[in-house]
Amino acid sequence: CAPPDAVVWPQAMGQVQKLAALCHRCRVPMVPFSTGLEGSVNAKQGSIHFDLSRMDAITKLSLEDFSVAVEPG
């Protein structure tokens, strides 16, 4: 494990998509994470961490079937 080369804080799905495409094109490993129960983040040297904690909105709420869709943060 090593510290990441960079940490980004996307706030919308479009930003995540653009950053992921850039990492793929440049062959840079990406490590998504958020605050919560998943534990600590393990990185490879030369990676970019995607901190998803700012993506915390409710995107869909259905009272009819008691379901909710939320962002990962």
Q: Is residue 26 part of a domain?
A: yes
Domain that holds residue 52: 6-70
**35 pLDDT more than 70:** no
Let me know how long the chain is. 73
* Number of structural domains in the chain: 1
pLDDT digit string (tens) for 52-70?
A: 888 888 889 999 999 998 8
DSSP string, 19-60: HHHHHHHHT--EEEE-SSSS------TT-EEEE-TT---EEE
pLDDT score for 1: 66
pLDDT score for 45: 74
Q: Is residue 48 part of a domain?
A: yes
Q: Is residue 1 part of a domain?
A: no
Torsion of CA 8, 12, 18, 23, to 10 degrees: 30
Residue that wins the pLDDT comparison between 16 and 46: 16
The whole model's pTM is what?
Answer: 0.71
